[in-house]
Structure 1
Amino acid sequence: MNLSMDDPTQLVQAGNQVLKSSEKLVSMLVKETNTSERVSFIRETVEAQVFMVGPQVTLKKNSNLTLDKIPQLNTTNASIDIDLIGNALNNNGSAAVAFMSYNTMENLLKPDFFNKPNNTVKTMMSTIISATLPKTNNTTLTKPVNFTLKHIRELNKSGNLSCVYWNIREWIVDGCSVVKTNSSFIVCSCHHLSTFALIMQTRPSEEGPLLESMNVVFVIVGLVFTSLALLTFAFCRWKPGVNNVARINLCISLLSAHLLFLLTQQFIKLIKPHKELCAVISGALHFFFLSCFVWMFIEAVLLFICVKNLSQISSRQRALLSSAFLIVIGYVIAFVIVGVSVGLVPEGYGSEQCWIKQERGFIWSFLGPVCFILAINTILFISIIISLNSTLKNLKAEVSVMKQTKIMVFKTLAQSVILGCPWILGFFINNNQMMEILFLILNSQQGTFIFIIHCFLNDQVRQQYVKWMRAVFP
């Protein structure tokens, strides 16, 4: 039979057939035992465990074989706690439980088969699991059974989680409830055995397409001006002592990070099935964005040194650190952080959007250094403003110097965007569309501000631009 992935009827029939065949296969592993026995196997698409108890465990209370608690049955992304002893006592002292976890079953038993309102987006948040009591006459549970399901995707805080079971044609919630939940897993309690899963419902975002389109447009604009800034730094002549190393490498990092991010989001549907590729891309994005922030920090330090020396050396600027040393700092720090992160939590990369996963707080491998650098850059920026304000008060005699200093004040204020200060807005978005748009605009245009401040508003660069234009259009 040719299975159509768009035909719900065919998918349901195929899913039911797989469940029936799997349960029949696993039941063949059950055999009579007087004590207890465990059988398990792992395949690419399914994991299974079977646990059996016999009369010597359940009926002989004084026996050394008595089990006070049945060991937990586990698969990679799920586990089950069931009172098998109680069930065995209702079945002449013998019982068995079969526990299976299907890694690709959601392709057949889709979350869209959940019988909840159609105006919600449904996402499968766990592997689909199945539990049965094979070769057991009395299958009535003495106690509710608890399932622990790990989240296989990032949890949306505004989403509604439901423990569901498969009822031949659809997912329903009857007889199941949520006992415990956090960002990594959920515990569901059910009064019967069946095929279970965890489904998250979220409201469709009307702002999503608009923000996605704006994101693409602004990132492309930022990439164009970042490229122009790099070309300007490469082909224009600069005054001796002007240190553009931080700005050049910041542009390189911004260009790499935003270009990779844009391409990833545009081809996310093609990339997602390849988990290794998705993980590599998320690691590369981690490195490029971290290097961006390190270069922002270096730029802030150099600007701070320049402004501090303003009152002593006028407007003359000099490089206090060698270019080679700055380049080592700018990239090695980011490389070390990513390397340590990979070593400690290798499975932390490759989320649904090919970014860092939220589980186990791994996102702080990015947020931690970013918060630290933003805090330092904010302090340096405030210090720069204070120093410039003090210098302005001492420059009352020379109007030309005053004018130049005011221009520097304007550049310094605009420089706050280059130093990454607007990234702080990310902590205050909280579903605020205007804040999200402002965050998107400012942080996608860092390359644009670099071009405006350090290229377009630079008299020396403008003069060279004029010469080039006259040469091209005489």
Structure 2
Amino acid sequence: MVLDAAANISESSSANPNKLTSYGNRVLKNNEELMSTLVKPTDTSANVSFTLADVEGRVFMVGPHVILGEIPRLYTTNCSIDIDLIGIAKNNNETRSAAVIFLGYNAMENLLKADFFNTTNDTVNTMMSSVISVTLPKTTNTALSKPVNFTFRHIREFDPSGSLYCVYWNISEWIVDGCSVLNTNSSFTVCSCVHLSTFALIMQTSSRPPESDSLLNLLNVVCVIVGLLFFSLALLTFALCPCPGVNNVARINICISLLLAHLLFLLTQQFLSLIRRQQVLCVLISGLLHFLFLSGFVWMFIEAVLLFICVKNLSQIRSQKRKVLRNRLLCVFGYGVALVVVGISAVVVPNSYGSEKCWIKMNKGLIWSFLGPVTVILALNIILFISIGISLNSAFKKLNADVSQLKQTKIIMFKTLAQFVILGCSWILGFFTNSSQVLEILFLILNSQQGTFIFLIYCVLNKGIRQEYRKLFTSLCSGLKPKNFNWFSENTEDSTIQGVQMK
């Protein structure tokens, strides 16, 4: 059947433009001719509809004795139309009847590409809707009594900085004549046209990013690279310097998850134009990013819980051996929660991965499978962070009567602020970055440097590790083989400030 020709669109997408437009025009013409055979005379009203994999069809007919006050809105999956078919029928003096054919194509944009819309060298065209076709078959007078309105659902992410155009197909190109945008939001756009044809919605965006965006992107790249460096140094330190009695499992896995997530995100954005050509790869990357970032937040929550337990047991740290949750159970929880969320999301809301930036599509609702858990974890971590700060301050007043109050306050303040970033609490700024570029820059810097703060607090400011660093560097400089690392026990004050779990 001619309708099945749409199923071969993807196979022809690599052809030259002339072949694409020629094939597309044949599909449109043949489908409209075939659909016109479904139009039958009627005294009142009748309708026919069907749905196939790549095309949906709606036929509505009215006769001289139609009893409807107005034609019901006609729907396909991605579009709806409002047409005054009764008014058109009244203008047909001979038959007093009319019919409309409404076709929605789910893959026609691969043939009638957005690139066929007039553009300049510094703009990019993006097809924002499915292609639809509306005709009036077997109707003697096809003049419209009033404009036809189309409501398009956006099939790609909406860019507020872009310009939307309601266009129709004119043999070899998309043009705007006779069509205009009535209103729009992030999910839908309403177009109005004074004639019938094949229509679509195209967004035009600048290919030259604003200067501020270029600077922000450069800052992002630099900050992420610095953060990746310190994530790597922290992991290397934890691997070469395993501290007896200290459970670093949460910190190690925070580093692993965020190191891989930031690295994958950075590479994806740098090679986005190449990755976008392979949609399957883009979908896999967005799903993996969802998993890695979410698992990173789960490990931040685990770290907050372990620190809270450590601080609460501070007064008993010398008299009682504290039980530590088994690492295997922590790993199952840390990665299992993220895996379950991603798996359920992919099943419940299919085709929601693989946005224009190879992330979760905003218009599918799946973004809340990320924002929801993250919001809950941030709220819990902030509560735990406040509790840890209060308990830590109280404990230091009891344990450090001989320490300078000013010095103690500075140490507590610095390490408390560092823990605020390590536990991910600074990610809360992400909910407010749209209204302030200053907050966006602060959010970017803080959350790209979680590895830096982990390295400073748990490596550089750890007495034992500093001493082992000195011995290692001394051995390297003298050309001698480094000796085995010997750990020096730290006093309760230093262990407590860092939130280290000790036996």
TM range (shorter): 0.7 to 0.9
In the TM superposition, what whole-angstrom CA distance separates every residue of 1:177-212 from its partner, at most 9, and x where no partner exists?
425x44322232322212322233556422222222
Confirm or deny: 8 A CA contact 1:150 1:186 kept in the other structure: yes
* Structure 2 residue identity aligned to 1:236: C
Q: 1:310 to 1:249 in 2, by over 3 A?
A: same
- Alignment partners' CA distance in 2, 1:244 and 1:235: 13
Match in the other structure for 1:129: 132
TM-score after normalising by structure 2? 0.79
1:127-177 CA-to-partner distances (Å, cap 9, x unmatched) read: 333322245331112343222211111123454544333467553264434
Alignment match of 1:368 (pick from 351, 369, 372)? 372
Q: Is the 8 A contact 1:184 1:360 kept in 2?
A: no
Structure 1 residue 365 displacement after superposition: 0.9
Structure 1 pair 318–84 and aligned structure 2 pair: CA distance change class (3 A):
same
2:213 aligned partner? 208
Moved more, 140-149 or 280-289: 140-149
Match status 1:84 vs 2:92: no
Q: Is 1:246 equivalent to 2:250 in the alignment? A: yes
Question: Residues 415 and 257 of structure 1: is their aligned pair in 2 closer, same or farther, counting only changes over 3 Å?
Answer: same
Q: Is the 8 A contact 1:97 1:131 kept in 2?
A: yes
Q: Note if contact 2:276-2:356 (Cα within 8 Å) is conserved in structure 1.
A: yes
Amino acid at match of 2:189: I
* Structure 1: segments with no counterpart, 5+ residues: none
User: What SS does the aligned partner of 1:471 have?
Assistant: helix
> Deviation at 1:218?
2.0
Amino acid at match of 1:194: S
Q: Percent identity?
A: 57
> 1:34 maps to which residue?
41
What CA distance in whole angstroms lies between the structure 2 residues aligned with 1:88 and 1:332?
62
The number of residue pairs the alignment matches comes to 453
Question: Which of 179, 191, 195 is matched with 1:192 structurally?
Answer: 195
Judge conservation of contact 1:162–1:173 (CA < 8 Å) in 2.
no
**Residue 229 of structure 1: which of 234, 250, 269 is its match?**
234
Structure 2 SS opposite 1:321? coil
Partner of 1:139: 142
Given that 2:258 and 2:296 are in contact with CA atoms closer than 8 Å, whether structure 1 keeps it comes out as yes
Describe the superposition over 1:315-344 as per-residue Cα deviations: whole angstroms up to 9, x where unpaired: 999553221221122111111222222222
- Cα distance between partner residues in 2 of 1:305 and 1:144: 68
Is 2:269 aligned against 1:265?
yes
Q: Where in structure 2 are the equivalents of 1:427-466 lying within 5 Å?
A: 427-430=431-434, 432-466=436-470
Task: Give yes or no for contact 2:109–2:127 (8 Å, CA) kept in 1.
Answer: no
Cα deviations across residues 91-113 of structure 1 (Å, max 9, x unaligned)? Answer: 42243425353635377553683
Partner residue, 2:117: 113
**Distance change in 2, residues 1:202/1:267 (3 Å):** closer
- Measure how far apart 1:40 and its partner are: 5.4
For 1:51, the equivalent position in structure 2 comes to: 59
Following the alignment from structure 2 to structure 1, what is the Cα–Cα distance between the partners of residues 350 and 282? 13
Unaligned runs of 5+ in 2: 1-12, 479-503
Cα distance between partner residues in 2 of 1:247 and 1:289? 15
Amino acid at match of 2:448: S
Note the C-alpha offset of 1:403.
5.9
Indicate the residue corresponding to 1:153 in structure 2.
Answer: 156
Q: TM-score scaled to structure 1, two decimals? A: 0.84
Q: Contact 2:227 / 2:449 at 8 angstroms: preserved in 1?
A: yes
Answer with 208-217 or 390-399: which moved more: 390-399
Equivalent residue, structure 2, for 1:351: 355
